[in-house]
Amino acid sequence: MAARTGQLALLLLLAFLCGTHALAQGSSGEDTHFDFPMEDPDDDRNTTRNLQDVLTDAASDIQKTISTSEHPLFDLKAKYGASAQKGVLGASVGYAVARITKHFALSTLKVSAVGAVMYIGAAALGYIHKDPADIVDQLQNGAAQASHVILRVLDLNKDGKVDWKDAKIVGRRLERAILKNSVAASIGVAAGALFAIVS
């Protein structure tokens, strides 16, 4: 129980710290979105700022505010209050969606596995007039076709295999999506979903 409480506290702290620099300046009217060139979407050099820069700027600003302000909690609330709210809301939504998805995915997997075993068992016992070996072959062929489709979808650089290069592409695309939208809400959703998956 203490470990889960610590994880939740870490998620809330992460959501609090993930404000953008524009939100840190208050309601200055600055746009919180970053523009990306439209050349190659997978080229690292196309981003004007990356997620690490945004988080480093926010952490530096928080540290500076704490060290120089007479009332750091009030100043931090004024600067990052909206980001904290977005982060907590995002974490709540991410947790709920991931928890529901996890529940239904596991239920569907269990029902499918039990159904396949019962079907093969019924065929083996003679209740269904099919050869159990043919049923197993059909199931294996269906699984092989599904795995080929999944591998084609996951092979983002189209080199014929799913490897770390594909994971890097996914990471860059996720980073761009987070920077294009609200950093606090995006990281909150990701943290909430991760918390729901591991709990």
pLDDT in tens, 97-149: 999 999 998 899 899 889 888 988 888 888 888 777 888 888 889 888 988 88
17-31, 45-59, 158-172, 175-189: segment of lowest average pLDDT: 17-31
Positive/negative CA dihedral, 77, 79, 82, 86: negative
**pLDDT value for 48:** 64
Q: Which residue has the tokens 């695309």?
A: 173
**pLDDT value for 6:** 52
Provide the percentage of residues in the chain whose pLDDT is more than 90. Answer: 8
**pLDDT value for 5:** 54
Going by C-beta distance under 8 Å and a sequence separation of 6 or more, which residues neighbour residue 149? Answer: none
Tell me the per-residue pLDDT of 63-90, one tens digit each, with 9 for 90 and over. Answer: 898 889 888 888 888 888 888 888 888 8
Mean pLDDT of 179-199: 84
* Confidence check: pLDDT of 15 > 50: no
Closest of 197, 187, 7 to residue 100, by C-alpha: 197
pTM: 0.54
Average pLDDT, the chain: 76
- pLDDT confidence bin for 95, thresholds 50/70/90: very high
CB 20 within 8 A of CB 180: no
Other Cβ atoms closer than 10 A to 52: 9
- pLDDT confidence bin for 96, thresholds 50/70/90: very high
* Confidence check: pLDDT of 179 > 60: yes
* Confidence check: pLDDT of 173 > 50: yes
Complete DSSP assignment for the chain: -HHHHHHHHHHHHHHHH---HHHHT-S----------SS-TT-GGG-SS-HHHHHHHHHHHHHHHHHH-SSHHHHHHHHHHHHHHHHHHHHHHHHHHHHHHHHHHHHHHHHHHHHHHHHHHHHHHTSS-S-HHHHHHHHHHHHHHHHHHHHHHH-TT-SSS--HHHHHHHHHHHHHHHHHS-HHHHHHHHHHHHHHHH-
